Structure 1
């Protein structure tokens, strides 16, 4: 059968390029199609540049309290353009490496806008310009785009996170609309860079998917640093006039220099030929898939943010690698049967200060019979070292266990706890019991001891905490 490729992938973000790399490893001929740069949103407009800005904010926060450690340091202003150049340098380095890696695997990159076309007997295809590239299988991985709530985004005064990462001067005042991951990260970043921030969230707490207690700790810590948090508040409109934005809320108006709309992202499933090719789309814009990420069109699969579930770059990687292995198996290139990771086993992190990291079930989701232990980081030596003298440590490590059984949830809040959540993912993903891992020796002093302490408490032998 005359086909151009074994696999054609529409979208070169986390899911798409991971799928391409793994498929090429398995011997498939691969086309990777995207009019944007390799790496997609995560590398260019999301994960990487955002965390670079957050690192700059952490440096400024550290300098501000240097004297408490006995170190003389002078806190000056923030040159946003220079921070942006630092972030761009990180992105450029990673993009160069990814481009070289894609090239070394023999993957055909087609830098054009693609549209899915139905199977004509030679397999489904992706049309670019006037040419259709037929393949044995197609993976759609076009990601997601910011939700704007119909507000008048102008990219200068009213913007999404895409534009906010490109600013060359910091505002004096900013309103952040949305108390999810993106909104919280920008609020934390900007207040640490010296911006007066108002954070507005329509629900009754920040980070609704996380443990309620950890959300409260985060809110208190942000408020201490000057963030004006308004929960249970809806924005009804916004108007930019000159150098000011007037944000309308239920009980009045807020004047600000900049409004960031950060209420989430919508699957980028429109305008790429999906419905015309017979693919079912949910009312939310997500592509409907089965338990193997197969769409309703034969030979067409979807991955990453197009599929309902947590919008995480590493979930995209996992989907992409899984599909590469599945398609290789279906095409007789591999004998192994891959397993699709469960969403509940995939860790999530909010890189604010403090950080919030979790994997698995919350205490409420685990049910009334679950065993829950909280280890407060006030008893952890490394956590105390990271705090300036006189600062109260508010971090917590929570482990959730089925009654007498396996660990089903690990939930952390505190400085740098993102580095611990991979251990949590191992515990939850491998369905370990506290007794299984009680003998693992953690280095001292380290934040990882907090997981060990909570685990010991679940086995009835708490060491550095009251039982």
Structure 2
């Protein structure tokens, strides 16, 4: 007799894992399928390894700043960075596996052959029945058709396969000037590697606050990164040479394609409706065209961010339990160069004429002065003592965002935030200064 589960989940990345844990804690029986690796893209070939790489770049940057010759310099070769990153991933995977086991969640490390509205069939032919299905199989790198013929070239990488690179190349071409492309531009250029970034759109980091984009450009140009924005590629050679529409010829040792993501949708025998961009279409409750099938995380294309996927998982399980309609929440974004670029809420470009824009320098922080991290600023966008947007260029800016997220979502009065006691010395004190300035 086939066991029927209350909840079946395809994919054990951020969305799937969090949904499984949340569902199990309510007493629901849960089965989760993962054929590749626990933790999904974020843990294994996305957020975590990228941030581990960027941390090493910041270490190298600091040592170079003070012209220090230490044993640490020798450990900052790519082979050593890869090894330490793998250890980080392995520890996190073990913790997740132990938690799944502790919650009595049935983990099936096998590929899903196909699914319908009541059954999942694995590649080996095993069938598993469910009451509700959650699709959380994430996304994969999107490769533009003009680059398909290069994908068998061992010198061409995606933002996922780049972690197999064993030694630093002398030069890199990065296709795509979004968050992923810019973070890798920072990483490679921090080690003195020549980098070209090619972006078809008029600007890198589209949809980011304009002043943050300017800071990213300035920072990376200091590292000799060359930007080619708002430009077409007219020719791509098998040797990775590129000719741009302005006649520029680029020929670097390796190429990293960072041109966005596409949904990972398991094979199915039902009429699952997709968006025009190929993601699974859902309503505000993450429900597909089938009432008992849901999609969360990258696969629905609402927000390709791990923290958003985690929130969707919590909201969905709450909806399944008591039909609570998910509230729309502000989603922060961070670009982890150094200093980082952190944002939540509306940009200055989106602000209406009567909104107030307040900007203060990082140098007003005693801790920033003490730690020689005075490069940067905080910009607030407010209306009638209510915060609508916050953009930060500065060290640890991402750690200041939660206060601003709460203020925006709960419509807190910034006068109360300004009069809150902040620890001294701390970077959080910058928010206190900014809130007071917004009230003037």
Q: Give the TM-score range, shorter chain.
A: over 0.9
Q: Distance in 2 between matches of 1:179 and 1:272?
A: 32
Match of 1:253 in 2: 249
Is 1:55 the equivalent of 2:55? yes
Stretch moving more, 15-24 or 354-363 = 354-363
The within-5 A match list for 1:126-145 is 126-129=120-123, 130-145=125-140
Match of 1:294 in 2: 287
Q: Residues 437 and 143 of structure 1: is their aligned pair in 2 closer, same or farther, counting only changes over 3 Å?
A: same
Match of 1:87 in 2: 85
Q: Distance in 2 between matches of 1:298 and 1:118?
A: 13
Asked if the contact 2:419–2:432 (Cα under 8 Å) also holds between the matched residues in 1, the reply is no
Asked if the contact 2:242–2:249 (Cα under 8 Å) also holds between the matched residues in 1, the reply is yes
Note the alpha carbon deviations across 1:371-403, whole angstroms, 9 max, x for none.
111112133233333437xxxx4412111112x
Match of 2:35 in 1: 35
Give the deviation of 1:115 after TM superposition. 4.6
Q: Distance in 1 between matches of 2:222 and 2:369?
A: 18
Provide the secondary structure at the position in 2 that maps to 1:277: coil
**Structure 1 counterpart of 2:312, from 302, 312, 319:** 319
Match of 1:465 in 2: none
Q: Distance in 2 between matches of 1:155 and 1:7?
A: 42
Asked if the contact 2:385–2:439 (Cα under 8 Å) also holds between the matched residues in 1, the reply is no
Asked if the contact 1:8–1:125 (Cα under 8 Å) also holds between the matched residues in 2, the reply is no
Q: Distance in 2 between matches of 1:437 and 1:200?
A: 42
**Structure 2 counterpart of 1:352, from 332, 337, 348:** 337
Provide the secondary structure at the position in 2 that maps to 1:440: coil
Q: Distance in 2 between matches of 1:131 and 1:72?
A: 58
Note the alpha carbon deviations across 1:87-131, whole angstroms, 9 max, x for none.
001000000110111111000111111255333xxxx22221323
Q: Residues 116 and 137 of structure 1: is their aligned pair in 2 closer, same or farther, counting only changes over 3 Å?
A: farther
Match of 2:364 in 1: 379
Q: Distance in 1 between matches of 2:69 and 2:81?
A: 23
Is 1:280 the equivalent of 2:273? yes
The within-5 A match list for 1:148-227 is 148-150=143-145, 151=147, 152-154=150-152, 156-227=154-225
- 5+ residue gaps, structure 2: none
Q: Distance in 2 between matches of 1:283 and 1:8?
A: 27
Q: Residues 328 and 289 of structure 1: is their aligned pair in 2 closer, same or farther, counting only changes over 3 Å?
A: same
Is 1:399 the equivalent of 2:396? no
Match of 1:228 in 2: 226
Give the deviation of 1:78 after TM superposition. 4.1
Give the deviation of 1:204 after TM superposition. 2.7
Give the deviation of 1:30 after TM superposition. 0.4
Note the alpha carbon deviations across 1:232-278, whole angstroms, 9 max, x for none.
2233443343xxx3123222320100111111111223x521xx412
Aligned residues: 434
Give the deviation of 1:317 after TM superposition. 0.8
Give the deviation of 1:142 after TM superposition. 1.0
RMSD: 2.0
TM-score normalised by the chain length of structure 1:
0.88
Q: Residues 100 and 77 of structure 1: is their aligned pair in 2 closer, same or farther, counting only changes over 3 Å?
A: closer
- 5+ residue gaps, structure 1: 331-336, 461-467
Give the deviation of 1:3 after TM superposition. 5.6
Q: Residues 153 and 301 of structure 1: is their aligned pair in 2 closer, same or farther, counting only changes over 3 Å?
A: same
Match of 2:429 in 1: 449
Note the alpha carbon deviations across 1:334-390, whole angstroms, 9 max, x for none.
xxx3x52525x12111111221111111122232221111112133233333437xx
Is 1:422 the equivalent of 2:416? no
**Structure 2 counterpart of 1:432, from 409, 412, 427:** 412
Q: Distance in 1 between matches of 2:114 and 2:368?
A: 51
